[in-house]
Amino acid sequence: MQVDVTKRLAAFTSSLTVEQVPEPLRKECRLFVLDALSVMVGAALFARDNGDTILSNYLKVAATPGPATVVGYGIDTTPMMAAFGNGTLSEVLDCQDTNLWVRSHNGTPVIPVALALSQWRRIPWGELVPAIIGGYEVHTRLLLGIQPSHWYNGFQGTGTFGTSGAAVTAARLLGLNAEQTGAALGASGFIMPVSNGDNQFKGHNIKPVHGGQAAMAGLSSALLAQAGYRAGPLEGEPPRYHAALQILSTERDLNKCISGLGSKWHTLEVAFKPFPIGHLIIGAVEATLELRKDKIDPKKVKSIRVTTFRDAVTFTGKKYTSVDSNHVDAHLSIPYSVAVALIDGQLTIDQLSARRLKDPFVHELAGKVICEVDEGMTRAFPAKWPVEVAISMVDGTVRNHRIEDVMWSPQRLPTWEELCNKFHVMGDRLLGADAVDQVIHILEKIDDNSDLQPVMKLVRGPA
């Protein structure tokens, strides 16, 4: 019997109010927005520091003037192009929030749409919260029904069904009813980007665009529904069922998309990133930095063994870098990330810079990193992300450190103060410390009747 996924999710999100959102998630929504803004600002700074004008060049051609801001670029454009720009910025550094149960970045497509519409419509925080949480839930729930086969078949859920999450966020903020929201979801399944693994993991600089495209396509889906366009449900229609949830996976359980709807909140499973690298790598870097406290001399390292779960090794553990690599190669590589963290004692956007990537010693040390799969760790994933790093020295000594609960995972979520510090690290050089402090203060004290206009002025950045 076919499950009415689209209709159920549309009814849920279109009627969701801030009072119905559990108090922990209402508070966490502030973290989502603060973290997303810090990542966008950091990406804008990274582009400036490295002379990367690609996004700027595109926006000069495509971004006509409008009411919504591209963060850090000093550009005010249409909501669609602001959603694109900010969604792209969300993916540049790979430092965004994540739900590893579904292998996707919830905030990447959702937050940019919420920001754009909040400026266009001057929408208060009390309306933004259910729209954002609804978008996170839909993004996650749709992928729960088809992962991990969707990922193993080469699709990136951030770009594909992240579009659907963005669509319901936009629909809620545009005031669409359940029927219209269902149409927006159906449209999202028709126009979502074919976000794929090769363009994610092979070092192509198009990689972050799938976030922008998902945000823009999600907003477009809602506007299409508002205009009167109608589309079939994501789960498909008889007799062929040729729709997104069916054709983009080989194994599916669509009951998971609606199980516990309104009582189980998968958004509570969202994690954050302390470093600008893939989430599969966070634990290895944390363990390396812990070992570095023993004053290890990188020049006297014989080998580094990283033992962890299978997905981490398969997707990021066999990627070795050279002086010709770019930051996309680097931040999706366990060997590079471990090596540069051991040498520098930190992993920030500076460790991904073009200058840092030209240091041959970093890549030489990365070549000594060997990643191995542990089946017990694999069984623990994604509830936990266990990892062990063992550093062997030329004198025969070995230092090792194992982590079960990785920092900023759902078991060790960051505090408000830690995310504020992340924002300062990302934003002070571009916006100024005073502006960053003001954004933090506004979001910390925001009430349901306030809007984000003051925040967006502060994060606009230099023209």
Which pLDDT tens digit goes with each residue over 228-266? 999 999 999 999 999 999 999 999 999 999 999 999 999
Q: Which residues, other chains included, contact 95 with Cβ-Cβ below 8 Å and sequence gap of 6+?
A: 39, 42, 273, 275, 276, 277, 426
Amino acid at 389: V
Q: What's the confidence (pLDDT) of residue 201?
A: 86
Residue given tokens 């909140």 in the structure block? 265
Distance CA 233, CA 243 (A): 7
Per residue in 70-82, pLDDT (tens digit) is 999 999 999 999 9
Percent of the chain clearing pLDDT 90 (strictly above): 98
Task: Quote the pLDDT of residue 388.
Answer: 99
pLDDT tens-place string over residues 406-438: 999 999 999 999 999 999 999 999 999 999 999
Whether omega before 65 lies within 30 degrees of 0, making that bond cis, reads no
Number of residues written out for the chain: 463
**Under 8 Å between Cβ of 230 and 190:** no
The DSSP line for 143-176 is HHTTTTHHHHTTB-TTTTTHHHHHHHHHHHHHT-
* Reported confidence tier of residue 196, pLDDT bands at 50, 70, 90: very high
pLDDT, tens only, 105-139: 999 999 999 999 999 999 999 999 999 999 999 99
Q: Which residue has the higher pLDDT, 288 or 151?
A: 288
Is pLDDT of 226 > 70?
yes
State the pLDDT at residue 114: 99
CA atoms of 280 and 294, how far apart (whole Å) = 25
Domains of the chain: 5-272+421-458 (1.10.4100.10), 279-409 (3.30.1330.120)
228: left (phi over 0), alpha (psi -120 to 50) or beta: left
CA distances from 395 to 299, 361, 376 (A): 12, 20, 31
Can you read off the two tokens belonging to residue 356? 């840092």
Average pLDDT of the chain is: 97
* pLDDT score, position 203: 87
pLDDT classification of 1: cutoffs 50, 70, 90: low
Residue 453 scores a pLDDT above 80: yes
In terms of phi and psi (left: phi > 0; alpha: psi -120 to 50; beta: otherwise), the region of 392 is beta
Q: What amino acid is encoded at 387 in this protein? A: V
How far from each other are the two terminal CA atoms of the chain, in whole angstroms? 55
